A and B are shown apart, each in its own frame.
Chain A
């Protein structure tokens, strides 16, 4: 459905951020994008969203070249939920989410009742119904992130790109967002999620892509990619994958560099 081929992008000449990234994702799937800081995840999401034109390579959505589509048409198909967002003016939560309806509005029109229903649904999906009249600027970082996710949902695209959507969320809200993502993926939307949390990739991803220094280090199912060897190479640090009693990978955790074990050694006292 969404196919990116041989993407190259650099903010400055001679300093490439993406170096030949290709990606092929199926409809209704959840793709996790992992990689160290500065590996090019955010840049790749921006290129995939059509906001940033690559210097080389192409992005196709159901065969159509994303960079040839008119902006509004493109934004009806692909949405980007940024990680950070600094609004100057104190719009209400409802207004911020309503801005997701922009690509669906006719020229010079403003949102109508139909749009308001969609916005209310999106707010309910992320549990923010009671926040609709609050100024966005007065929310906590995690709540702001939920608002932006609701805006992405209200945009009703075929593909939604989430840039570290759970970075500022508590565990319960992380789960709520990812369960919502899974529900929507089952029905109509495909997701690309950049993340620093390989464990949630184990739980939710259909496909995992690991970036390193602007190139695809590995791509495949979680079982193929989320191995100790691959993740240790990706992050340049020792990583351990924990398995449950049925020998299914359940968590990815860091290891101490000196090899020592957990400090919780059962007694509460160090031996």
Chain B
């Protein structure tokens, strides 16, 4: 029983375990309220709450009242913070779903090439037009195109479809990666190249109110779907033949999960650019804290991912006047975090 201490967090005390689970689920709310108050114009939490209340319940926008607090909270900071929460939740939960269906704790939703495709689409438009809307649409479209290509090619091989799909996904991903490098090579080093590089490292600095609705709809629909199949994800993670023996149709269900996850990742990347590590680190962290059962893991990863990206983005936004890209930050914070998690608790997977 000498190992018990190491697993305190994981399974041994159901009541603490439940408390921790609910703490994780509620974590984004206080974080968001705190973050909405942070910035060059500091706002105390109670004023943030009042502004949010007005915005959500009484809908003051029609009242035409020139209220600085209200405007800063709802017009300037809320879109960015909502995007951080949604994108963080997206990347984390799709990472969890992919780790489950691919039975591999070392993959995230980029394994089928969605991020690489999106990166290429964005780079292409930054090079051709520079119009932010074009960049977003192209990122989304090429992200989907990459996965669709991988899927179509893998259908040509009848045996072991998922294995082939993974392999082809990696290949398509590196193909688009090379195309992106080519675009960077021919891009103007003073103007376009920095824009491409910056986009590829991810940022929420340019999020506008118009970005939020599509992001919210696709993200929430995807999260709802993954939550709905939470029990089936447990069964799928046993492998195809056991899932079949237990009455699931693994091929169809995995395809659905891939479709939803790809849409979620593509829309996230199209808004924020490429943000690495969240989809890999957060599922591990969540598994350490609440265990591998997807009934708890799915909600926990959504909320933990949302909290993580919000915290990182708030740091990036408030610590420096020139914002460092998020992709850099998530790696710098994410790698040590993952190392600590693996040291503290080894039982989440294996």
Binding site for B on A (CB under 8 A): 46, 49-52, 71-76, 79-80, 82, 85, 87-92, 95, 99-100, 102-103, 105, 108-111, 133, 135, 137-138, 155
- A–B Cβ pairs within 8 angstroms, 7 of them: A46-B241, A72-B248, A73-B247, A80-B245, A99-B246, A102-B248, A108-B228
Q: A75-B247, A103-B247, A133-B11 are in contact. Are A91 and B242 (CB under 8 A)?
A: no
Interface pairs A-B: 6 shortest CB-CB: A75-B247, A103-B247, A89-B292, A72-B247, A80-B245, A102-B246
**Contacts of B210-245 to chain A: CB distance below 8 A:** 228-232, 234-235, 237-238, 241-242, 244-245
Q: Does B248 contact A71, Cβ atoms closer than 8 Å? A: yes
**B334 CB within 8 Å of chain A:** no
Q: Is the CB of A51 within 8 A of B230?
A: no
Interface string of B81-109 (1 = CB under 8 A from A): 00000000000000000001001110000
> In whole angstroms, what is the CA distance A243 to B285 when docked?
61
Chain B positions within 8 Å of A135 at CB level: 11, 347
- Secondary structure at the B interface, as helix, strand, loop or mixed, is loop
B17 to chain A, nearest CB (A): 10
How far, in whole Å, are A103 and B242 apart by their CA atoms in the complex? 12
| Chain A CB within 10 Å, residue with most, of B103, B229, B245 | B245
B-side contacts of A138, CB under 8 Å:
347
Q: Are A91 and B11 in contact (CB under 8 A)?
A: no
B16 in contact (CB, < 8 A):
no
Chain A: minimal CB distance from B238 (Å): 6
Tally of A-B Cβ pairs under 8 angstroms: 86
Assess whether B343 is interfacial by the CB under 8 Å rule. no
Q: Which residues of A contact B249 (CB under 8 A)?
A: 71
Q: Are A102 and B247 in contact (CB under 8 A)?
A: yes
Q: Is the CB of B246 within 8 A of A90?
A: no
Q: Are A108 and B244 in contact (CB under 8 A)?
A: no
Whether A51 pairs with B244 at a CB distance below 8 angstroms is: yes
Q: With A and B bound together, what is the CA distance between A247 and B275 in angstroms? A: 76
**CB-contact partner of B349 in A52, A90, A92, A110, under 8 A:** A90
Given A99-B238, A102-B235, A105-B231, are A71 and B11 also a contact pair (CB < 8 Å)?
no
In the docked arrangement, what's the CA distance between A50 and B241, Å? Answer: 10
Q: List chain A residues, Cβ under 8 A from B241.
A: 46, 51-52, 82
Given contact pairs A110-B295, A133-B11, A95 touches B246 in the complex (Cβ within 8 A): no
- Least CB distance from A151 to B in Å reads 9
Residue of A49, A72, A87, A88 contacting most chain B CB atoms (<10 Å):
A88
Complex Cα distance A233/B251, Å? 42
Looking at the assembled complex, report how far the CB atom of B9 sits from the nearest CB atom of chain A, in whole angstroms: 13
Residues of B within 8 A of A82 (CB): 241-242, 245
A87-B234 Cα distance, complex, nearest whole Å: 10
Alpha-carbon separation in the docked complex, A99 to B327 (Å): 38
A169–B104 Cα gap in the complex (Å)?
Answer: 29
Partner of A89, one of B230, B242, B348: B348
B287: chain A residues within 8 A (beta carbon): 89
Determine if A49 and B245 form an interchain contact, defined as CB atoms under 8 angstroms apart: yes
Could you tell me if A75 and B231 are in contact, using CB atoms closer than 8 angstroms? no
With a cutoff of 8 Å between Cβ atoms, the chain B residues found around residue A95 in the complex are 234, 293
Contacts of B292 in A (CB 8 A): 89-91
**Residue of B with least CB distance to A73:** B247
CB neighbours of B291 from chain A (8 A): 90, 92
In the assembled complex, which residues on chain A have CB atoms less than 8 Å from the CB atom of B348?
Answer: 89-90
- For the complex, what is the distance from the CA of A100 to the CA of B347, rounded to whole Å? 23
A79 contacts across to B, CB distance below 8 A = 245
Q: Nearest chain A CB to B295's CB is how many angstroms away?
A: 6
Interface 0/1 of B330-350, CB less than 8 Å to A: 000000000000000001111
Complexed CA–CA distance, A80 and B247 (Å) = 11
Shortest CB distance A86–B (Å) = 8
Q: Flag if B246 contacts A92 (CB, 8 Å).
A: no
